[in-house]
Chains A and B, each alone.
Chain A
Amino acid sequence: MIRFNNVSFSYDNCEELAVSNIHAHIDRGEFVGIIGPSGAGKSTLVNLINGVIPHHLKGDFYGEVLVCGKDTVESSCGEISHHVGSVFQDPESQMVSTVVEDEIAFGLENFNLPADEIENRMTDALKMAGIEHLRHESTAALSGGQKQRVTIAAAIALRPKILVLDEPTSELDPQGSRQVFKTLKRLNQEYGMTILIVEQKVMLLSEFCSRLMVMERGRIIMDGPVRQVLEHHDKLLELGINCPRVVTLTKLLKNASLYFGEFPVDVNEAESVIRRIMEGAYDQYSESDLSLQ
């Protein structure tokens, strides 16, 4: 679906490479989380996929990026936009319309879709983003979180094969962020949409994504299934990425030689791990434990 072949890029007026020697392959239907400290090249990676680089942001481009089998340099930004939907960080400046409904219809009208099709897709997208009640609202009156959901709905409405999101939950509260991830998961599972998301909230990434990429100084330093990446939590901590608490807890259990299995990624899994350990522990120390009680 997406293939990076030895890609390096540096922006104009900037000597340092924003990303260097990127090799990656993302298959259809994957849900990929990208994490890393600021300035690691996460946004650059996203912009390489949706064609903003090299069509809008100029610089020195090496290697090739293939999206749906086509070189992004050869196809225009408009062509790429038929396959790739994008959501950026600042929702306010992404909005082109003054009414939510028009905002979502904007891309659909650009794609020259008939009126009834636009209506259907608009209703669907609003429902999926959980903002049906905002349909006729003025965009100026929305909160930051609501605006972010509108931009997500606008991208979903285009029904792209690939959806790339650059910190789409930065202005959402924990509940709102979770809601967004649930929506993305549904799109991923029901429509087989390939999703790439740049995000700082590692807990949500580890719970919802199937694959995690960690970036540092323009390179992908770790790439693999979530559980595998989380095992290197010392390295993650070094990069300033706080591991989910369940991972920290599991690490402690492993250090104490109480647990040897895979890393749990959410609270439910961690609970069952701990239950199993405790049951095992009771077997070993049942007498002393009972005497303590």
Chain B
Amino acid sequence: MKQMLEYVHGNSIFHRLNPLIKLIWAFVTCVACFISSSHLFLLGVLLMTIVIAGISGVLGRAMGVFKALLVLGLFLMLFQLLFTPHGRVYFYILPGVPVTDLGLSFSLLLMLKMMAALSPLSLMLMLTPMNELLTAMTHNLRVPYRYAFVVVTALRFIPTFSQEMDQIMQAQRSRGHETDTRNPFKKVRVILPMCIPLLISSVRRVETMAISLETRGFCTGPRSCRKKLGFTLFDLLAIIIVVAVLLLSIAIG
């Protein structure tokens, strides 16, 4: 989880892209994927995301994301497959539960949709420093600083909490609490009680954080910005491509 949303330092052409363009790219691609119901288009978008990840030098990380999305996607696909009885029947998995051509095509589409729509969001977070994201939100999108800060801080605390959870799990394990189980229902029952210490410690952390903010002049007046974020020719090119993708998705349907 934490690997999917964390910024990776770099200096590729996509790292240098204006954060606003990256935000627009992620959201427009997401929308385009939901508009389109063409397997080919979705595969194309997915391929584009992989190419961007490759050029930016975060392919390894991105592959992790794809893998996680694939697992989730396969799960979705299976459900969709089992609950679509229409179309030409290929064979029966269980008595009365057919696998049909329509079901197969539709469930594949759903999986592709999810992967193609979500992976640009994750890639955008890998390629954009939080600070720039904050600037894009406050300066370009006119989101009030307090609210933009909340969004960015939520992302910042993910690794902290995941570390904390690991620690709690290990502490429980060392006292003989069984935490490794393959049964998902059991897993939930095992993990749920550990959420309470996590909740308590996170409330405490947030308290300290608030104090730290107060002593560093948070929201005391107008705020300056360290980096001037300009638009280059490449930003223009990128926005043209993004718009083209959106139009294509509408055209193909």
B116 CB, min distance to chain A CBs, angstroms = 27
Contacts of A73 in B (CB 8 A): none
B223:A78 contact, CB within 8 angstroms: no
* B220 interface neighbour in A78, A99, A114, Cβ under 8 Å: A78
> How many residues of chain A are within 8 Å of chain B by beta carbon?
46
User: Given contacts A102-B130, A112-B221, could you give 5 more A-B pairs where the C-beta distance is less than 8 Å?
Assistant: A56-B211, A77-B215, A96-B213, A112-B224, A158-B216
Contacts of B9 in A (CB 8 A): 99, 136, 138
* Interface pairs (14), CB distance under 8 Å: A51-B215, A78-B221, A80-B215, A93-B206, A94-B209, A98-B156, A107-B217, A109-B224, A110-B219, A111-B224, A113-B224, A114-B224, A119-B226, A138-B9
* Given the contacts A82-B217, A113-B224, A140 and B159 also touching, CB distance less than 8 Å: yes
Q: Which residues of B contact A (CB under 8 A)?
A: 2, 6-7, 9, 129-131, 153, 155-156, 159-160, 163, 204-206, 208-228
Closest to B210 in A: A56
Q: Which residues of A contact B (CB under 8 A)?
A: 47, 50-52, 55-57, 76-82, 84-86, 88, 90, 92-99, 102, 105-115, 118-119, 136, 138, 140, 154, 158
* Given the contacts A93-B208, A140-B2, A140-B6, A102 and B215 also touching, CB distance less than 8 Å: no
Q: Which of B214, B218, B222, B227: most chain A CB closer than 10 A?
A: B214
A105 CB, min distance to chain B CBs, angstroms = 5
B129:A81 contact, CB within 8 angstroms: no
Contacts of B163 in A (CB 8 A): 140
A78:B208 contact, CB within 8 angstroms: no
B131:A97 contact, CB within 8 angstroms: yes
A112:B7 contact, CB within 8 angstroms: no
Closest to A136 in B: B9
Contacts of A109 in B (CB 8 A): 223-226
Q: Which of B212, B218, B227: most chain A CB closer than 10 A?
A: B212
B226:A105 contact, CB within 8 angstroms: yes
B200 CB, min distance to chain A CBs, angstroms = 13
